[in-house]
């Protein structure tokens, strides 16, 4: 089987909305590990996505809307930390791929 016929590995990537960035940071328990501005975060994400593609991983962007994410966390007793965000993105991606 050649590479073009093989399935690519995919990875969900959280996408934050520019107008919700300050709100996101205000509730993030791991804020000290995050970029200070949306523009800084986006530049790092763009580089990360290029690196993923270079090693055969297809990044799938999943919008992390704060209204939905806060509801998700409240229903599960979770905080806004990296693990919760990753879990949320994985769940959204799974729902999208089932359609």
- Predicted local distance difference test score (pLDDT) of residue 8: 77
Mean pLDDT confidence for 27-52: 97
Residue of 17 and 6 predicted with greater confidence: 17
Mean pLDDT confidence for 4-21: 85
Indicate whether 30 pLDDT > 90.
yes
Mean pLDDT confidence for 5-23: 88
User: Cβ(91)–Cβ(42) under 8 Å?
Assistant: no
- Spatial CA neighbour of 69 closest among 20, 12, 31: 20
Interhelix angle for 66-76 vs 82-98, to 10°? 110
- Predicted local distance difference test score (pLDDT) of residue 99: 67
* Spatial separation of the C-alpha atoms in residues 68 and 66, rounded to whole Å: 5
Mean pLDDT confidence for 20-27: 97
């Amino acid at each position: 089987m050649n590479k073009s016929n093989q399935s690519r590995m995919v990875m969900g990537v959280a996408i934050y909305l520019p107008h919700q960035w300050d709100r996101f940071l205000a509730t993030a328990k791991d804020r000290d590990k995050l970029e200070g501005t949306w523009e800084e975060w986006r530049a790092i994400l763009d580089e990360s996505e290029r690196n993923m593609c270079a090693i055969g991983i297809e990044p799938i962007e999943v919008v992390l809307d704060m209204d939905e994410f806060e509801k998700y966390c409240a229903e599960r007793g979770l905080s806004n930390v990296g693990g919760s965000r990753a879990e949320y993105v994985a769940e959204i991606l799974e729902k999208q791929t089932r359609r």
